[in-house]
Amino acid sequence: MKKKDLEIFLEQVPDFSDPKPGFEQYKTPATIASDILFQAYASEDISDKYVLDLGCGTGIFSFGAKILNAKQIIGVDKDQDCIDLAVSFAKKHQFNIDFICKDVSDVSEKVDTVLMNPPFGAQKQNIHADRAFLEKATSVASVVYSLHLKHTLDFISKLLKSLKKEGEVLQIYDFPIKAQFSFHKKFKDKVSVALVQIK
């Protein structure tokens, strides 16, 4: 499959029906998701691998991994509304993907690869959420592909060093943030995010 075809398919993945600001729920754009998936695929971290979509939201990384021939996929999110949307979309397309509603701290499944767009920890009630995701992801997988705010890369680097892991910035994206909460002052904004590969 070509990356553009994957992107077109991923555009169909449903958005959050009732986004919760404390969870920092912003759907990963299909353009960015398809690019991340193809980079992981090119590095032989998707096809025939056990893949965990951590903080899966409505499942965009899970569905992309399925199309790129992952052996088994688990999508985990603590928001049941998201899990319900992901399960419904999977049934529609006859995808065999395990979607589970639970907190990141309760994840114990060992996998080859983690794909994630974790909360950035930008909200006061969610501060350091990205730390919890990184600590969990690096403990259950051999390789992690994760999105983080560009200006937090120094923090990410220090955290990974403390975890005895190595991270490499593969790409910088302009990530669109649409106005969906009362505190948003712009109809649409963009933040600079980095794709980090961790081994």
Q: Distance (Å, rounded) from C-alpha 148 to C-alpha 49? A: 24
> What pLDDT is attached to residue 183?
44
Phi-psi region of 48 (alpha: psi -120 to 50; beta: other; left: phi over 0): left
Structural domains of the chain, count: 1
> What pLDDT is attached to residue 178?
66
> What pLDDT is attached to residue 190?
87
**Would you say 196 and 45 are in contact if contact means Cβ atoms under 8 Å apart?**
no
> What pLDDT is attached to residue 127?
59
Average pLDDT score, the chain: 90
CATH of the domain at 133: 3.40.50.150
> What pLDDT is attached to residue 126?
52
pTM of this prediction?
0.91
Three-state DSSP string of the chain? CCHHHHHHHHCCCCCCCCCCHHHCCCCCCHHHHHHHHHHHHHCCCCCCCEEEEECCCCCHHHHHHHHCCCCEEEEEECCHHHHHHHHHHHHHCCCCCEEEECCHHHCCCCEEEEEECCCCCCCHHHCCHHHHHHHHHHHHEEEEEEEEEHHHHHHHHHHHHHCCCCEEEEEEEEEEEECCCCCCCCCEEEEEEEEEEEC
Summarised one tens digit per residue, pLDDT across range 62-120 is 999 999 999 999 999 999 999 999 999 999 999 999 999 999 999 999 999 999 999 87
> What pLDDT is attached to residue 119?
87
Q: Which residues of the chain have pLDDT under 70?
A: 19-24, 121-128, 178-188
Q: Which domain holds residue 193?
A: 3-198
> What pLDDT is attached to residue 31?
97
